[in-house]
Structure 1
Amino acid sequence: MKIMVTGIGGVGGYIASVLCANYDDVTLVARKKRKESLQTKGLVVHSDFFGHHVAHPAVTDDPSSAGIQDVIFVCVKNYSLEAALTAVLPCIGDDTIVVPVLNGFTYHDTATSIMKNGKIVDSAIYITSSYQEDYSIRQEGRFARIYIGSDDAEATKKVYDVLNHPGLTCCIAENITVEIWRKFILNCAYNVLTAYYRTSIGGALSQPQGKEEFRALLQEAYDVGKAAGVPLPDDVVDDQYRRILGSDDMDATSSLKRDIAAGHQSELDTFSGALIRLAHQYGVPVPISEKCYQALV
């Protein structure tokens, strides 16, 4: 089993750590200082769920040198997907399975347009993980869960077998599109509102209209998904709203808030712009999403 991971950030680094604990032939794609750190110190993970792990897999900035792979995990931000996937094209054979582990709902079409062969198994991951200044990975919380699915049952089962090990709970989704949208709906509210107010989720919810805006962002994303034909359960908005308001971690922020506050490239288009365009396509009003987007763009 030849496995490759590209995008060794919080999510990709964590997945790679679980894979390295169970497979001998894992190749990480990294560049510059990240590559140097992986080669000298190894892949270091500090995890509430998986424990402390250090692995020393192969690391390359030239994916083509690793040859054809069995499974490739692409764990990058949406704006880097085209470049990351293009770089690993020489590693994708007819039977290679590519698993994009990204936010949003647009990545599948982008991957399909780039890949000339191979198979795609989609995913939606729930994890709180980030890489630190020393390039180690810090995972917080007692969970790391990934949903996978595709029209190819054999490919999906193969990815399940590869991933389902201690440290990562893997579930084959009955409908992966629903799982992708369930997570997307939450991100459209959580990421956007924390970025809009430049604060934690607790700080955002404590604003005069914070709770109402959070629920409205959830509802707008849900309405767009339903209009687009996604068979979402009726209780998605209520469930997400109650879960976040009942969370013990009100100091948590979001990747979008952190990136925008630091002046870095962000996934604002993934969490807000793409939703607004789809809303316009289906004639769904999304006033709160548009207000936040215009303030952040």
Structure 2
Amino acid sequence: MRILVVGAGATGGYFGGRLLQHGRDVTFLVRETRAAALARHGLVIHSATGDAHLPAPPTVLADDLHQPYDLILLSCKAYSLEQVMADIAPAVGPQTAILPLLNGMRQLDLLDARFGAQHVLGGQCVIAATLDAQGAVQHLNQSHSLTFGERDGRASERMQRITQAFADAGFDARPSANVLQDMWDKWVFLASLAGITCLMRGPVGDIVAAPGGRAAALALLEECRVVAERSGHAPGEAALQRARGVLTEPGSTLTASMLRDLQHGHAIEADHVIGDMLARAGHKHVERSLLAVVYAHLKVYEAGRARQSMA
């Protein structure tokens, strides 16, 4: 199976690197600067689950994509998706499967519109990773799962081939017959975590210790739960209990990656993670919505960042 991994950053570099490490046919679609760095230093992964150094991993630039791949693994940020869809178009053939690992659900609508729903799988990953100053992937804990599946739950032939390709590849590969629910469960939790930590500009432990902080975190989770329920994907009680526990853990230093991006002045996925959740709530539910307050807060940040970039 020929696999194209879009990006060799923290997420794409980790999962693509593990696949390459275990002998899979992987090529990374990257920009010129990242291609040059990988050619010089290789792809390096530092992890408690095992380090890896992959000299000169196969890379390709968008202008050089001319042949279709069997599987395209999308690990880009949501704000890059429009450009990525244009870049990968030559690599999408009649039998190509696209597996997006973005947060939220809007990516499915955009990919369906561009390539057709028959090409697009459901997927998500759970990993805490970043690139260090030398461009190496730093895996920050031991979680490294990748969930994937046909959106109608079928055990299709391509699902069997992908499952075989991901098996024993150095991460937790989780084929799912209910991948849309898996994606909604993660989105509900992530929107709550990103929303409350960005709004309060602090970690979970500080938020729940502040007057009204715990109630605000749980109120935001409940708003997101209601959106999922109205969309036909209400989280189960076990998923909600896990989310409540994480969002209210005393002393927790947990923050969302969106907060870290915000604190460093980077682009954020405000529209995709928070805005789309709010849009699915419907206009009549926006009044007195904490989700709406979070979204306004993030859009103010984006406006200020845009002005600074033009200065």
- Partner of residue 52, structure 2: 53
What is residue 252 of structure 1 aligned with on the other side? Answer: 254
Show the counterpart of 2:307.
none
Structure 2: runs of 5+ lacking an equivalent: 300-311
1:162/1:285 Cα in 2 relative to 1: closer, same or farther (>3 Å)?
Answer: farther
1:4, distance to aligned residue in structure 2 (A)? 0.8
Question: Does the CA contact (< 8 Å) of 2:66 and 2:90 recur in 1?
Answer: no
* 8 Å Cα contact 2:218/2:247 also seen in 1: no
Report the TM-score when normalising by structure 2. 0.87
Name the SS for the 1:88 alignment partner: helix
Displacement after TM superposition at 1:101 (Å) = 0.8
Shift of 1:279: 0.5
1:158 is aligned, of 158, 161, 171, to 161
Separation of aligned partners in 2, 1:293 and 1:244: 19
Residue of structure 2 equivalent to 1:220: 223
3-state SS of paired residue (1:147): strand
Structure 1's consecutive aligned runs of 4 or more residues displaced over 4 angstroms after TM superposition are: 281-286
Output the CA distance in 1 between the equivalents of 2:282 and 2:82: 25
What does residue 32 of structure 2 align with?
A: 32
Mapped contact 2:65–2:88 kept (Cα < 8 A): no
Equivalent residue, structure 2, for 1:271: 273
AA aligned to 2:130 is S
- Aligned-residue CA RMSD in angstroms? 2.2
- Comparing 30-39 with 236-245, greater Cα deviation is found at 236-245
1:204-215 matches, cutoff 5 A: 204-215=207-218
Alignment-derived partner of residue 292 in structure 1: 294
Deviates more, 1:193-202 or 1:52-61: 193-202
Give the conservation status (yes or no) of the 8 Å contact 1:64–1:88: no
1:17 matched to which residue of 2?
Answer: 17
- 1:103-133 Cα deviation digits (max 9, x unpaired): 1111111111111696222112111111122
State the TM-score, normalizing by the size of structure 1: 0.91
Residue 179 of structure 1 and its aligned partner are, at CA, apart by 0.3
Residue identity over aligned pairs, in percent, reads 23
In structure 1, what is the Cα distance between the partners aligned to 2:7 and 2:41? 18
**Structure 2 CA distance for aligned equivalents of residues 57 and 118 of structure 1:** 30
Contiguous gaps of at least 5 residues in structure 1: none
Post-superposition Cα deviations, 1:41-72, rounded to whole Å, max 9, x if no partner, equal 111111123x1101132112236436221111
CA-CA distance at 1:85 after TM superposition: 2.0
**Which residue identity lines up with residue 178 of structure 1 in the other structure?**
Q
User: What is residue 204 of structure 2 aligned with on the other side?
Assistant: 201
Q: Which residue of 2 aligns with 1:262?
A: 264
CA contact (8 A) 1:223 1:284 kept: no
Check conservation: 1:44, 1:137, Cα contact below 8 A.
yes
Say if 2:204 and 2:249, in contact at 8 Å, map to a contact too. Answer: no
Look up the equivalent residue of 1:104 and give its one-letter code: G
Q: 2:87 is aligned with what amino acid?
A: A
Alignment length (residue pairs): 295
